[in-house]
Amino acid sequence: MHSFVHRRFFLVVLWSLLVFLLLVCSALAQERPEVIIAGHRDLVPGENDPYYTSTLLHVWEPLVTRDEEGWPAPMLAESWEVSEDGRVWTFHLRRGVLFQDLTPFNAEAVVANFERYRRISPANSPFYPFRIHETYPGLKEVTAIDEYTVRLTFEEPVPALPFLMVNFGSAMFSPRNFREDGFFNGFPIGTGPYRLVEHKKDEYCRLEPFEHYWGQKAISPIRVRVIPQAETRFSALKAEEIFGVIDIGALTPALAMELLKDERFAVEVSPSTIAHYLFMNGSRPPFDDVRLRKAVSLAIDREFIVRELYYGYGEVMGTILSPASPFSVPLPIEHDLAEARRLAKEVLGEKRVQVRFIFPSWSLERYPYKEQAEYIQSVLRELGIDAQIQILEGGAFNEAMKAGEYEIAMRNQGLPNAEPNTIFTWYVLSDGAGNVEYHLNFKDQEADALILQARREMDMEKRFQMYARVQEIAKEGYHWIPLFNNVDLLVYNKRLKGFRSLGKKYDVTLWEAYLE
């Protein structure tokens, strides 16, 4: 009897210990809690989009990405070289990479993807349209030389190919991911650290770490909610329903400042390629005179705008090329009210002139454009320029610009890719699309020559100098007046660790994020 009781007792203890161990193990093995963040739009446009998701979600990876200085950097392509005549580019692919359906990433897959590019181009997207003839101008052939080498042959030299391929230009998916028409047959299968596991349009999407990712594996599952209104994102952060925000216009400067007063929050400042400009109608008086345009530029205190209206979150610009581009040169920022008055007097004499100052109503959701415009209006009044502000609906705004029914238009502009030639062609080249359509009327032979020449210039150093010179010339034209560069304010709850902005890479370290 005695030993029986003892044995019973011993068994009970053993069982309890086992159960206890199991509980402990399961607690340890429990997945990291879901990191919940929010953006103002759905970052997953879906099947009929060329990329399915934004790069920010890290579901797919490109051949070429950007480094924190803005230069093209290796991603799925480890290295590349170009032939002397610039027509043949050879890419060496990274080894040991698996797609999320566990098929290998190799040259064959790359060729299949290029095949797909041909089929879907031109394709629209809320991010960047995909146009094969713009990203890969004159592409003749794409061949797999061996399992990890791909060769791209072009009709004409393309010296800046990697710049054009950055991110959205070279997205790679599993060849089994496509329909006949080239779009997706299901969830995207990329090579990135996250898999898309759930998506409810305009509500949220869920990402889970991909266990066989080739690089630094992701820590936590992520839920990205869609909350269109900035004030609601603010409240959600405060109520700890979300722990961070993402994407352009994550939080307005005013709300961000207010949120940062709360000890629980910190901010990651993410530079974007979006900058604010004044488009000057150079095809009719009074701004057909460069002196008056210069006066406008000199009269505006950009520092004031950034400091007061954007709470210091922004970078003033003296050059037309956003500092997010590695080719941007820091030209001096001028603010000289006296000189501005003098120039205005020279042109206008004692007369006053009335001009139309327009901007689109959609910008009001993200930026304090109304105050900005009213400030500029008050400054221009001192020059003898009476600006009539007109807020126009998006479509009406475009119409007005095309019809030239404005004197000054204020709008933001982003860089479509890392190659500045695109933006120079639009706004600086004499018969550039933007220049002509928006009646900027800027003509400079030297700039024209440089822009066309740079397209074929193989020497990086020389290109840099050419682009620097173009910026100088454009500046003196004062037809497309840069104000300042935007930054995105990614305010986050301090309990969210590992959430960092990656500078000009325009990215956030989602894979390092976890909740405490």
Partner 1 sequence: MITGLVLLVVIGGASLLAPFLSPFDPLEVRLNNRFAPPFQRPHLLGTDALGRDVLSRLLYGGRLSLLLAVLSTLITLSVGMLLGMLAGYFGGWVDGVVSFVVNTFLGIPDVVFTLALLGVLRPGFGTLLLALNAGSWVGLARVARGEVLFLRESGFVEGARAMGAGAWYCLLKHILPNLFPTMGVLGSLRFGGFVLELAALSYLGIGVQPPFPDWAVMLNDARPYLFTHPHLFIFPALIITVVILGANCLGEGLRDALDVRFQRGIGES
Partner 2 sequence: MRHYDWLQRFLQMVLTLLGITVVAFLLREAIPGDPVEILLGKEGLFQPSPEEVRLFRTRFGLDRPLFVQYFRWLGDVLRGDLGRSFVTKRPVAQEIRERLPATLLLALAGFSFAVLIGLLGGVFLAFWSGSIVDHLVRVVTLLFRSMPTFFVAVVLITLLGERWRVFPTSGMGSWRHLVLPAVVSGSGFGILIMRLLRTNLLQVLGNDYILAARARGLSAWKVLLKHAFPNGFVSVLTMFGLYLGGILGGSPVVETIFAWPGAGRLLVQAIYGRDFPLLQAFVLVFGVTYVAMQMLVDVCYFFLNPQVRPGKRIV
The binding site for partner 2 (CB under 8 A) comprises: 45-48, 122, 124, 126, 128-129, 200-204, 225-229, 231-232, 235-236, 238-239, 241, 360, 362, 393-396, 398-399, 411, 413-414, 416, 426, 433-434, 437
With CB under 8 A as the rule, give the number of residues binding partner 1: 27
374 is a contact residue toward partner 1 (CB under 8 A) = yes
Stretch that binds partner 1, among 2-10, 136-144, 369-377, 435-443 (CB under 8 A): 369-377
Spell out where 330-392 has E strands. 353-360, 385-392
The C-alpha atoms of residue 474 and residue 331 are separated, in whole angstroms, by 11
Amino acid at 510: L
Task: Find tokens 């722990």 and name the residue.
Answer: 243
458 is a contact residue toward partner 1 (CB under 8 A) = no
Residue 406 has what DSSP assignment? Answer: -
375 is a contact residue toward partner 1 (CB under 8 A) = yes
Give least dist CB 392 to partner 1, A. Answer: 5
The encoded tokens of residue 229 equal 């209104």
Whether 39 and 247 have beta carbons less than 8 Å apart is answered as yes
Whether 419 and 327 have beta carbons less than 8 Å apart is answered as no
Neighbours of 430 (CB within 10 A): 14
Answer with the entry of partner 1, partner 2, none that 426 interacts with (C-beta below 5 to 8 A by kind).
Answer: partner 2
Which residues, in sequence order, are CB contacts of 346 under 8 Å at separation 6+?
Answer: 291
Which residue, 109 or 451, has its beta carbon nearer to partner 2? 451
Q: How far is CA 19 from CA 5, 7, 22, 29, 76, in A?
A: 21, 18, 5, 15, 46
308 is a contact residue toward partner 1 (CB under 8 A) = yes
Answer with the entry of partner 2, partner 1, none that 200 interacts with (C-beta below 5 to 8 A by kind).
Answer: partner 2
Answer with the entry of partner 1, partner 2, none that 373 interacts with (C-beta below 5 to 8 A by kind).
Answer: partner 1
Which residue, 199 or 233, has its beta carbon nearer to partner 1? 233
Give least dist CB 84 to partner 2, A. Answer: 32
Which residue, 46 or 404, has its beta carbon nearer to partner 2? 46
Which residue, 92 or 238, has its beta carbon nearer to partner 1? 238
Which residue, 220 or 252, has its beta carbon nearer to partner 1? 252
Nearest Cα neighbor of 115 from 136, 99, 101 is: 136
Answer with the entry of partner 1, partner 2, none that 45 interacts with (C-beta below 5 to 8 A by kind).
Answer: partner 2
Answer with the entry of partner 2, partner 1, none that 295 interacts with (C-beta below 5 to 8 A by kind).
Answer: none
Answer with the entry of partner 1, partner 2, none that 203 interacts with (C-beta below 5 to 8 A by kind).
Answer: partner 2
Q: According to CB under 8 A, which one of 83, 390, 430, 465 is a site residue for partner 1?
A: 390
257 is a contact residue toward partner 1 (CB under 8 A) = yes
Which residue, 62 or 360, has its beta carbon nearer to partner 2? 360
Which residue, 360 or 432, has its beta carbon nearer to partner 1? 360
> Residue 248: phi, psi to the nearest 5?
-60, 150
Which residue, 128 or 311, has its beta carbon nearer to partner 2? 128
Chain length of the chain:
516
DSSP output for 343-355: HHHHHHTT--EEE
Which residue, 269 or 436, has its beta carbon nearer to partner 2? 436
Angle at 386 (CA atoms; ends 383, 387), nearest 5 degrees? 115
The encoded tokens of residue 173 equal 């998916």
DSSP output for 409-469: EEEEE--SSS-HHHHHHHHTSTT-HHHHHTT-----HHHHHHHHHHTT---HHHHHHHHHH
| Residue 184: strand pairing partners | 178
Answer with the entry of partner 1, partner 2, none that 509 interacts with (C-beta below 5 to 8 A by kind).
Answer: none
The C-alpha atoms of residue 303 and residue 309 are separated, in whole angstroms, by 10
Answer with the entry of partner 1, partner 2, none that 129 interacts with (C-beta below 5 to 8 A by kind).
Answer: partner 2
Angle separating helix axes 420-427 and 460-477, nearest 10 degrees:
30
224 is a contact residue toward partner 1 (CB under 8 A) = no
Give least dist CB 217 to partner 1, A. Answer: 40
The encoded tokens of residue 40 equal 């103002």
304 is a contact residue toward partner 1 (CB under 8 A) = yes
Nearest Cα neighbor of 256 from 487, 483, 514 is: 487
Nearest Cα neighbor of 377 from 312, 305, 427, 317 is: 305
Answer with the entry of partner 1, partner 2, none that 71 interacts with (C-beta below 5 to 8 A by kind).
Answer: none
Using omega within 30 degrees of 0 as the cis cutoff, is the peptide bond preceding 45 cis?
Answer: no
Which residue, 130 or 511, has its beta carbon nearer to partner 2? 130
By three-state DSSP, how is residue 339 classified?
helix
Amino acid at 410: M
Give least dist CB 70 to partner 2, A. Answer: 18
Stretch that binds partner 1, among 320-328, 360-368, 432-440, 503-511 (CB under 8 A): 360-368
Q: According to CB under 8 A, which one of 254, 266, 502, 515 is a site residue for partner 1?
A: 254
Would you tell me which residues interact with partner 1 (CB under 8 A)? 231, 252, 254-255, 257-258, 304, 308-309, 361, 364, 368, 370-371, 373-375, 377-378, 388-393, 395-396
